[in-house]
Amino acid sequence: MKRLFFICILLINLLSVNAQLIISDDNIYYTVNKGISYSEEKLNTLSLADVIKQNKFIPVTSDVPNFGISTSSFWLRIQVKNITHHETFRLQVAQPALDEIDFYHIEKNGKVICQKGGECMPFNNRQYFDPTYIYRIQLDTQQVSEFYLRIRSRDNLQIPIIIASQETMFESSKIKDYIFGIYAGIMLVMFLYNLFLYITVKDKTYLYYIVYLASVILTQISIQGYSFQYLWPNSPFIAQWSAFLFSPFVGVASAYFMRVFLNTAFYCPKIDKGFIYFNVAYIIAIILAVAGYFNYSYLLITFCASTLSMYMMVAAFIVFKNNYKPARFFLLAWSMFLVGVTIYAMTNLGVLPNNNFTFYTMPLGSAAEVILLSLALADRINVLKKEKEESQAQALLISQQNQKLITEQNIILEQKVHERTIELKVTNDELNVTLTYLKDTQTQLVNAEKMASLGQLTAGIAHEINNPINFVSANLRPLKTGIDEVLEVVAKYEGITSDSVLIDKLKEIAAFKKEIDLDYLKIEIEKLLAGIEDGAKRTSEIVSGLKNFSRLDESDIKEASINEGIESTLILLRSSFSKQIEIVTNLEKVPNIECYPGKLNQVFLNILSNALYAINKKGSSTNNKLIISTFEKEGQIYATFEDSGIGMTPDVKGKIFEPFFTTKNVGEGTGLGMSIVFKIIESHHAHLEVESELGKGTKITIILNKKLN
């Protein structure tokens, strides 16, 4: 029944059509200036069916519907006749500042299609990514189509409506975007240019101008709908209130800028005091908007904008009459802006039609004004330069007058300086003695650290060498016994003479061989010899590692392998490894580097010793790992030492390279190990990185260059 009702109403409306827009060419951009009628709804409670049933539509006589400022909802009925062969078009409501806009289309079967939109909803809900409202419509050939719009807004309700093909519509939108993009580019360039000038000259005039420029940019992009599209698409509240916030902001910012730029407090003090009333008026306009009196607020803002523009022109003219040069620039620039503001205000009030000329007059006027004022501010630099030169000349005169006094004081000062120099010399001698003492102390401390490391190495080496020597010693006694028994067998064979009884002797020897188990004895001798050989080999490895570690030529730069240095250090520290610690070495084949080998070995020793201390300090018997890796990356050699020890806090990590800082107990460390490591790394022009987390361990990475430059 509802669909039948809409079909009947639609037929009645179509039969009562007196005039409608006729689409005769699908490539033309049609501004709908015929076939529009409206109905005002003050209570905002009616549905489309109620409005159609009342049928209180009044024809719109103007080219663009303009309902001024109102809290009512306005229903627009649009009637279009299509006499082309193309049926798909786009309908555009070219007014971004609408709080609510509902688009209705009644299909032939009576089904009502409704698309809701406006600044009361997030921007992403729109069908097309455009600041205006674009709808896809179907116009039957040789038929009159009817559409309905429900519009409500707290801003000025001026509703330009356009119908065109998709290509024509989007081409027109692109042109508008290009034009406004040029304007926005000019404004942004001027903003950055004057920001640079402010940073350079530190003149507060530029700061006021930057604030004014920002307010103009925000206001213009809000009027055109781009702020809601790009800046706050998910904030309908800001979009709806921007007209009542940014416009007063522009007025106040422009007034303050002019007062500073033209120095109105000096040239026209009476008029300068009048600006306070405009500030009060703008505050009242904002209060009215908050209270819901949007029509009064909008009218007051428009009145203030026009009046303030004229007031500023009068003030600028008076300053110009006082021969203040910057006033000429301001008058010319403000005249262009004033023309744009006036045309925009008259368009909002319905005095002038809404077209491309009136639409772009205000942005173009503001762009011209901004450029001219920027030139005026640039000229201000010359004025400041001249003032600075005059100030410098005056300062020079004062300086010359003071020169005589300074000369007289120099004699007294020279005498005092001489006395002070003698005192400083004595103090300097004392400091030199103290410095020499400190250097000696530092050398002793460094040597103490080296001796501590040497003591650790000596204990480890003694332990390591003692094991294989004990092993050799333990094997010598059974080996001697076995050899004696073999020799005894040999002696028995030698005791066989020609006159002896051969068979008896052989039986005796066989019995003796069985007694000493000669076959097992030979195997035992081989094992004992292998054990002695292994002990000797291990002793040789330790000696070789010690020789490689010591590097008697450490003061010379030479090519060396960091893998060999790490391996020799591990050999010397073998006695420090408990069975609970798993040592993992991932030493890739890396090229030799130019370095001080002995010093690098000292670095490896200190880092590995600290890692082993941290693991043992943790006290856990499982998951104790020390991972050592080397690899080449981007032309540099990396060596990483990662332990699962106690780790460090950020505070401790920041202090580990400080001399005398240690976390070890008293007597366990001097606090110089990592300080020496840092200095050695610096001498290699290398880089050292430390990563640590308390309770999880520490990772130290050394990044070395192949060439020591």
Domain 558-705 listed as CATH 3.30.565.10: yes
Q: Which long-range contacts (CB under 8 A, 24 or more apart) does 431-437 make?
A: none
| Residue-level pLDDT at 569 | 81
Nearest Cα neighbor of 356 from 154, 139, 617, 175 is: 175
Residue 672 to residue 662: CA distance in whole angstroms: 8
558-705: same fold as 2-164?
no
pLDDT at position 6: 43
- Residues lower than pLDDT 50 in the chain: 1-18, 551-553
Tokens 């039969």, residue located:
15
The three-state secondary structure class of 24 is coil
Residue 34: the pLDDT is 82
What's the pLDDT score for residue 170?
A: 85
Residue 648 CB-half CA count within 13 A:
21
Write the CATH number of the domain with boundaries 2-164: 2.60.40.2380
CA 676/CA 660 separation, integer angstroms: 11
Cα gap 674→663, rounded to integer Å: 12
Which position has the token pair 């010399």? 425
Domain boundaries, the chain: 2-164, 178-388, 389-550, 558-705
DSSP assignment letter at 231: I
What global pTM score does this model have? 0.51
pLDDT digits (tens, 9 = 90+) for 109-119: 778 889 999 88
What tokens were used for 132? 């205006």
CB-side exposure of 241: number of CA atoms within 13 Å? 15
Q: Which neighbouring-strand residues pair with 66?
A: 158
CA 23 → CA 92, 108, 120, 132, 168, distances in Å?
15, 20, 32, 22, 14
Nearest 5°: the CA angle 679, 684, 689 is: 70
